[in-house]
Amino acid sequence: MKRLIVVLCLLLALTFCLPAIAQEVTIGIDFSTTGASSTLGIPNKNAMMIAPTTLGGVKVKYIYLDDQSDPSIAVQNVKRLISQDNIDMLIGPSVTPTTMAIIETVAEAKVPIVTYGSTSRLVLPMDAKKRWVFKTTPNDDIFCGALVNQMVNKGVKTLAMIVVDDPFGESWVEVTTRMATAKGIKILGIEKFRRDDSSATAQALKVMQLKPDAILIAAVGTPAVTPHKSLYERGYKGKIYHAGGMVNIDFLRVGGKAVEGAFSPTPPLVVTEQLPDGYPTKKEGLLFLKKYEEKYGAGTRSQYAGHVWDTVKLLEVALPIAIKKGKPGTVQFREALRDALEQAKNIRGVQAVYTMTPQDHSGIDKFGMVMVRVENGTWKLDEAPKF
């Protein structure tokens, strides 16, 4: 009997002393690995596939789903992950339209998410629903601030826009009009196209007739090539800027010679080696690129892989904090994880240094954005913030 009591006491003591790694956190993942946004969703998933299964000493399980770049499928996926898999958090979706569609669902279930849609509307203005949403993509004003400053430096006085007809394009119309006008740049006209359009000739002709100093194209992924090619084929010789959601190898592959000379703001991962020594993201960026390109090959880098890797960096800090306050699979844990993400400070990633606050769920400052241009079929650093 004494032996039995001793054994039971030891077992009880071990139960209370089990390390955090014995408690498994379930992370749902919804990416656009097929469909119109697949050039973003595939590098999202590629980065996630090399993520460790222990983060900050906490064991994690990943459950992957593809939303096919369709907001309605994204909603179905997220409802399934919540109801069937009881996820503790969601990573994704890949783009703004699919993210906008699922915010109400995750907020109702109190599931924190880190998304890769770029528009500020996903996290601003902050409210009871958006407090569950975080993103490692810069807000629109960070993108647009770098872009407008370069336009001013290059003497642009008039601007026309061709934007995708979705929430991303709408947000860019608002932020560009506001920020460009404040810098003395006049917006001459705005044309819209659909993400799946095969041509934007009509839009290109209309904005060319306005004779702007420059044209801004706001679209994500390879659909951004469509209006650019139309401008090239119609002989437009002025400066062409992009909104930043298309800086990847597929844009260069599909665009070819037509996109030579294009300017775009972007998080710095794609030009990491070209950054000055000591730049805040350079060290982490080089380490990640070595790991990523060893797995997927040289030239496969993508800002959308970097966004996912920075989520991993945030979770390495947030998960150990949350697991001390709640058990995975419970609302208490999800709330604790949300709070821990919101309190993340000076987390050095491959794209930016992140400092979240209750008002800012992106947490990116000016060092998370550089200007690049297309030169000889590659991305070249054009301007970077001073540090």
SS3 of 243-309: the string is: CCCCCEHHHHHHHHHHHCCCEEEECHHHHHHHCCCCCCCHHHHHHHHHHHHHHHCCCCCEHHHHHHH
Q: State the greatest distance between any 2 C-alpha atoms of the chain, in Å, as a whole number.
A: 94
- In this predicted structure, what is the pLDDT of residue 21? 43
Ranges for all domains in the chain classified under CATH 3.40.50.2300: 17-138+289-367, 140-266
Q: Which candidate, 30, 105, 113, places its Cα nearest to that of 69?
A: 30
Residue 70 has pLDDT above 90, yes or no: yes
Q: Which candidate, 141, 111, 131, 174, places its Cα nearest to that of 359?
A: 131
Please name the helix (run of DSSP H) or strand (run of DSSP E) that holds residue 354, with its range, or none.
strand 353-354
Residue 257 — φ and ψ, nearest 5°? -65, -25
What average pLDDT does the segment 306-316 reach?
A: 98
The answer to whether 116 touches 136, Cβ cutoff 8 Å, is: yes
Query: Which fold, 140-266?
Result: Rossmann fold (3.40.50)
**pLDDT digit string, tens, across residues 323-370:** 999 999 999 999 999 999 999 999 999 999 999 999 999 999 889 999
- In this predicted structure, what is the pLDDT of residue 19? 45
**φ/ψ bin of 199: left (φ > 0), alpha (ψ from -120 to 50), beta (otherwise):** beta
Residue 65 has pLDDT above 80, yes or no: yes
Residue with tokens 């306005």: 210
What average pLDDT does the segment 232-243 reach?
A: 97
Please name the helix (run of DSSP H) or strand (run of DSSP E) that holds residue 108, with its range, or none.
helix 96-109
Q: What percent of the chain has pLDDT over 90?
A: 90
- In this predicted structure, what is the pLDDT of residue 20? 41
Q: What is the 3-state secondary structure (H, E, C) of 33-81?
A: CCCCCHHHHHHHHHHHHCCCCEECCEEEEEEEEECCCCHHHHHHHHHHH
pLDDT band for position 131 (cuts 50, 70, 90): very high
pTM for this structure? 0.87
Q: Classify strands 158-164 and 133-135 as parallel, antiparallel or unpaired.
A: unpaired
Residues 17-138+289-367, CATH architecture: 3-Layer(aba) Sandwich (3.40)
Handedness of CA 174, 307, 101, 55 (dihedral sign): negative
Residue 36 has pLDDT above 70, yes or no: yes
Q: What percent of the chain has pLDDT over 70?
A: 94
Q: What is the mean pLDDT of the chain?
A: 94
What average pLDDT does the segment 237-258 reach?
A: 95
Tally Cβ neighbours within 10 Å of residue 19. Answer: 10
Distance from C-alpha of 102 to C-alpha of 318, rounded to nearest angstrom? 23
**pLDDT digit string, tens, across residues 162-216:** 999 999 999 999 999 999 999 999 999 999 999 999 999 999 999 999 999 999 9
pLDDT band for position 14 (cuts 50, 70, 90): very low
- In this predicted structure, what is the pLDDT of residue 8? 46
Residue 114 has pLDDT above 80, yes or no: yes
- In this predicted structure, what is the pLDDT of residue 3? 58
The answer to whether 86 touches 14, Cβ cutoff 8 Å, is: no
pLDDT band for position 1 (cuts 50, 70, 90): low
Helix (H) and strand (E) counts in the chain: 12, 15
Q: Which candidate, 297, 238, 279, places its Cα nearest to that of 367?
A: 279
**pLDDT digit string, tens, across residues 251-300:** 999 999 999 999 999 999 999 999 999 999 999 999 999 999 999 998 89
Distance of CA 375 to the CA centre of its chain: 24
- In this predicted structure, what is the pLDDT of residue 18? 45
Residue 244 has pLDDT above 70, yes or no: yes
The one-letter amino acid code at 64 reads Y
Handedness of CA 358, 359, 361, 367 (dihedral sign): negative
Tally Cβ neighbours within 10 Å of residue 223. Answer: 24
